[in-house]
Structures are given as C-alpha cells and as structure tokens.
Homo-oligomer: A and B are copies of this chain.
Amino acid sequence: MTTVGILGAGQLAMMLSQAAATLGVKTLCLAASADECAGQVAPLCVVPTADPAAWESFVAQVDVLTLETENVILDLATFMSARKPLCPNLESLAVSQDRGYEKALFQSQGIRTAPYSLVDSLNELKQAAEDLGLPAILKTRRFGYDGKGQIRLSTVDDITRAWNELGKHPLILEGFMRFERELSLIGARSTQGDMAFYPLTENWHEHGILVKSEAPFLQAQLQAEAEDYMRSIMLGLDYVGVLAIEFFLVEGQLVANEMAPRVHNTGHWTIEGAKTSQFEQHIRAITGMPLGSTEVLGHSVMHNCIGMMPDKAEILSQPHAYYHDYGKAPRPGRKLGHITVVTPR
C-alpha cells in the first residue's frame, strides 16, 4: 500500500488524509506538535524543530511526498526531494514561495498581473511608489498568508512606516487593482501528464482571509482562458498535483494574483459539490492514478468558519448544508472549519 508523506498536519493535510484512506492510500503527516488537527485522522510524525535525523526517519516511511502549504522551509523540501519524489516538485514550490518569482512566471507565460516592483531598500520603495502610483500594496515576497505580511500604502506618509515594519524582508510593491470579482481556478496534473480542471470559483475575502467561495462561476471564455494559463504553467514546471491560481477580474479580464501549489481553501466546495473532491484528485494525481471527474453536482457556496464555529445543530438542521469541523482550538482569525451548501442545479 502506498504511503504519502505530507509536509504539514493542518486541516488540508487532514482532508487529504481522509480522501487517501478511502482510496487505500496511507498518509503520514510531518507535524510541529502532537495536537495538529490531521492527527485526528492519520498518524503524525512529530518533529518540533528542524532535525535531519527525524526527517530521515519520516522520509524512510513514505513512498511519495507532498505538502499542504507553500510556506515549507526550502531546506526541508530540498532534503525530502533528494530522497523521495516530491509532488509538486521543488521548482514549483520555490516559485510559489516568492511573489517575485511568481509574477515573473506569470508574465513569462503571457498572463496578466498587477504592475509591480521588487523592493530592497527604502529608496527603491519610494521610487516604486512613484512609478506605480498610490494606493499600492507592499507585501513580503515570502511567507505571507491570510493577509499577513501586507500593508496598504494610501499616501506617501505611509511609505516610511510600512518600510520600518516590513523592510527587513525582501519586498514587492504591487499596484492597487480595482477589481470586479475575485476568481480562482483549481486543476490537477497527474504523474502521467493528464490534466483536469474544476470550473472557476468566485471568492470573497475580508481582512485578507477567505470568507466565502461560490461555484461554479460559469463564463465559458474566462474558463477557457484560465485553463490555458494553468495548462501552460503546469507544463512549464512539470507540475504534479492540485494547483490553484487566484485571479482578479479587472475590466472583464483575468489578472493573476497568486498561485498555491496545493489543495486550496477555495476548492473545499468540491468535497460535496463535485464528483471528485480536490483532495481525492490530489491523491490520485501524485500516486499515478487516473484523475477523477470534475463535474459539479449542484451550485455550491462554501463559508469559512473563522475564530469560532457556528451552532452545530442549526447547521445540521439545514438539508443542503455540510458541516466540517477541523477540531482545532478556537483563536481569533483562525480557520476552524467550513460549511458548504450544495443546492441542486
């Protein structure tokens, strides 16, 4: 029986493990602590700090490696991928970790992005703000998520303050885009090179955190364009696994915002809303199985449960609602679960 090693043990690792178990695939999750939520459904290998001896023992137990976050220390990923196949590969991970590389990749594939400048000094930041105009958003190139590591610059007065806060990291200044919608495309490429794409999903963020996704967003031309973009990125990177690209819709056109080399929060609706969930799809893709159908089973709306869970009995009394509790301790701003409502087409 194949064992997939997952670098991480949060809710994405949890849902990957659940899908894997049904397919007869074992998982082992590399966790920083024993209380990480994937431990509820799969064995953990707890390694609190960087420890190559423990890494060695972890990798010896698995056949193929994957990840649930792009914020994996590159040392760890490099160590692992020297020993077992890492899906997606190191290049895909390295590009996704860095907003600068990501933008360069998008542009090299002819995919529109927001105007941007890489920024390594206060002077460069001032120049970039002048070139791009304000408002603009200053972001760390690496290790940002859920709106962390981002500051909006509205006036020139904000520049020095933002630099003082973030300037110790490599930065990128992105021109502010007034967008009509936020969309994401989730797709998969298997070890055999087969590809499959879900329909576009529309997303809503608050304070940088995803609060709601709705699918399918049906617009044939945008769908075809988004798939073309993802196809070219997957081929360029020899990508294997599920990939997500987030887009802004600006004056009717897709502008790539960022990509995530993994299953994605905006794809949680696929658990009940599509023939094959993104989690099963990822396990199929990286274990050399045929990809599953991405056909939708209705209209899905997914709500994230942030900071606290809603009343369980109330949700469970709704006939079209599906309740997902990750079993995590409540904390403000933390994703604790999600609710998907699937209504028949």
Contact = CB atoms under 8 A, between A and B. Distances in A.
Interface of A: 1, 14, 17-18, 21-24, 26, 40-42, 275, 284, 289-290, 292-293, 295, 297, 309, 312-313, 316-317, 319-320, 323-327, 337
Contact of A22 (B18, B24, B275, B317): B18
Contacts of A23: 312, 316, 323, 325
B317 A24 contact: no
Contact of A316 (B1, B290, B313, B326): B290
A24 B289 contact: no
13 contacts: A17-B41, A18-B21, A18-B22, A21-B40, A21-B327, A23-B316, A23-B325, A24-B323, A41-B42, A275-B319, A289-B313, A293-B320, A297-B297
Contacts of A275: 319-320
Given A18-B41, A42-B41, A327-B1, A319 B293 contact: yes
This chain: how many copies in the complex?
Answer: 2
A297 B1 CA distance: 31
A216 to B, nearest CB: 16
A284 B327 CA distance: 16
Nearest to A42: B41
Contact of A284 (B24, B40, B316): B316
A3 B158 CA distance: 51
Given A21-B40, A24-B337, A289-B313, A295 B319 contact: yes
B24 A327 contact: yes
Given A21-B18, A41-B21, A313 B325 contact: no
Contacts of A319: 275, 292-293, 295
Among A1, A290, A326, max chain B CB count under 10 A is at A290
